[in-house]
Amino acid sequence: YFEEWRDDLIKNAQFKGEPLSFISLKDDPYRELLLSKKFFHSNYKSNKKIVLKNQNKKIKIGYISADFRDHPVSLLLARIIELHDKSKFEIYAYSLTRREDEMTIRLKKAFDKVIYIGDLIDNEAVNLIRKDNLNIAIDLMGYTKNARPNLFAKRLAPKQISFLGYPGTTGGDSIDYLIADKYVISKKLSKFYSENILYMPNTFLPFDNTTKIEEKEISRKDYGLPEEKFILAAFHRIEKINPKVLDLWSKVLTKLDKAILWIQEPFPFAKENLFYELNKRGIKEDKIYFAKKTKYLCDHLQRHKLADVFVDTFFYSSHSTGIFALWAGLPVVTIKGLNFASRVVPSLLENLSMSELIANDEKEYISIITKLYQKRELLKNYRDKLLIQKEKNKIFNSELFVKDLEKLYLSIMY
Residue 58 has pLDDT above 90, yes or no: yes
The pLDDT of residue 136 = 96
User: In Å, how far from its chain's centre is CA 158?
Assistant: 26
List alpha helices for 92-221, DSSP H: 102-110, 122-131, 149-153
Is the Cβ–Cβ distance between 156 and 126 less than 8 Å?
yes
The pLDDT of residue 1 = 56
Residue 233 has pLDDT above 90, yes or no: yes
Q: DSSP string spanning 58-98?
A: SEEEEEEES--SSSHHHHHHHHHHHHS-TTTEEEEEEES--
The pLDDT of residue 47 = 83
The pLDDT of residue 110 = 98
User: In Å, how far from its chain's centre is CA 190?
Assistant: 19
CA dihedral sign of residues 29, 401, 176, 18: positive
The pLDDT of residue 18 = 74
Band of the pLDDT at 22, cuts 50, 70, 90? confident
The pLDDT of residue 189 = 96
Question: What CA–CA distances, in Å, run from 9 to 37, 153, 191, 194?
Answer: 11, 22, 21, 19
Per DSSP, 335 falls in state E
Q: 25 or 153: whose pLDDT is higher?
A: 153
Percent of the chain with pLDDT over 90: 87
The pLDDT of residue 2 = 63
Nearest Cα neighbor of 275 from 283, 267, 264 is 283
Query: Burial letters for 216-247: b for 16+ Cβ neighbours within 10 Å, e otherwise?
Result: eeeebeeeebeeebbbbbbbbeeebbbebbbe
Band of the pLDDT at 201, cuts 50, 70, 90? very high
The pLDDT of residue 7 = 75
Distance CA 168, CA 150 (A): 17
Would you call the peptide bond into 315 cis, given omega within 30 degrees of 0 as the criterion? yes
| Identity at 414, one-letter amino acid code | Y
User: In Å, how far from its chain's centre is CA 391?
Assistant: 22
Band of the pLDDT at 49, cuts 50, 70, 90? low
Instruction: Find the mean pLDDT for residues 63-86.
Output: 98
Q: 8 or 26: whose pLDDT is higher?
A: 26
The pLDDT of residue 5 = 63
Which tens digits make up the pLDDT trace of 101-157? 999 999 999 999 999 999 999 999 999 999 999 999 999 999 999 999 999 999 999
Band of the pLDDT at 414, cuts 50, 70, 90? confident
Which tens digits make up the pLDDT trace of 315-357? 999 999 999 999 999 999 999 999 999 999 999 999 999 999 9
Band of the pLDDT at 195, cuts 50, 70, 90? very high
- Element housing 291 (H / E): strand 288-291
Instruction: Find the mean pLDDT for residues 224-230.
Output: 96
Which tens digits make up the pLDDT trace of 265-295? 999 999 999 999 999 999 999 999 999 999 9
Distance CA 103, CA 117 (A): 19
Q: 181 or 16: whose pLDDT is higher?
A: 181
Residue 308 has pLDDT above 70, yes or no: yes
Residue 12 has pLDDT above 80, yes or no: no
Is the Cβ–Cβ distance between 339 and 361 less than 8 Å?
no
